[in-house]
Amino acid sequence: MTIQGATEKKVKLSVVIPAYNEEKYITKCLDSILKASVPYKDRVEIIVVLNRCTDRTEEIALLYGCVIVREDAKNLSKIRNAGAKIAKGEILVTIDADSWMSDTMLTEIEKHLMSGEYIGGGVMMKPERMSLGIMASTLALLLTAIPTFIKHGFISLGLLWCFKKDFDAIQGFDENRIMAEDADFALRLKEHGKALGKTYGTITKAHITTSSRKFDMFGDWVFVIKPQILFAYHNGRNRKCSDEFYYDIKR
């Protein structure tokens, strides 16, 4: 792992973005973070973790003044952890490069955490586009998650937020998982919060919009036609499926 562009500055929030050839989307993601950062002049750092990038992702990130980290493992847990490891903010936020946040996201996150009620949490998510196939695929995903919801209760994902100290306390993302690392992290954060008398929250007064690129590439009905992808996702350790669906996609 190598680090480029890190600077010493006192920050309130660190936003970590994993990026594998994201020149098509990352500008919109970064623009949204900058808008949400307006109340925090010079107190938000954006950390872009480059993963085997061969396009203009690094160039774009540097133009925006981002901190650059390189982590080439085909493992989203390692990629996210590489960014979190150097984060200087009291609050840690993770968002994917093909998602963008609404303008009040960071202030809502701070408000929730500073209330003392929440250990962290996820957010409301909106799709870039919708179709009958995407609705059916989303329903298939939720149905396969029912056992988890029954055992642990509902957890929201999309964008994850917590204090950096709590991220460190649960040792970040589990690097033995190459899929569903976000859901696993959320469940462990939730359990950590229970021990501290805090709840796992969902930001409802702000949201993220997520691109439809997976559906554009694999088809809107992908999870209905290929439910094995969902079971591999929940397992979290299927290398063949994870490479095909996440790590070896041509971008």
CATH number, domain at 40?
Answer: 3.90.550.10
Q: Would you say residue 242 lies in a domain?
A: no
Q: Would you say residue 133 lies in a domain?
A: no
d(CA 17, CA 161): 13
pLDDT digits (tens, 9 = 90+) for 154-205: 889 999 999 999 999 999 999 999 999 999 999 999 999 999 999 999 999 9
244 alpha carbon, distance to own chain's centre: 19
CA end-to-end span of the chain, whole Å?
22
pTM more than 0.75: yes
Give the domain range for residue 103: 2-125+155-211
Quote the number of domains for the chain: 1
- Greatest CA separation for the chain: 50
Q: What is the mean pLDDT of residues 8-13?
A: 82
pLDDT digits (tens, 9 = 90+) for 75-123: 999 999 999 999 999 999 999 999 999 999 999 999 999 999 999 999 9
Residues 6+ apart with CB under 8 A from 11: 42, 43, 44, 45, 88, 89, 90
Q: What is the CA radius of gyration of the chain?
A: 17
Q: Could you tell me what percentage of the chain is helix, strand and coil, using 3-state DSSP and rounding each to the nearest 5?
A: 40, 20, 35
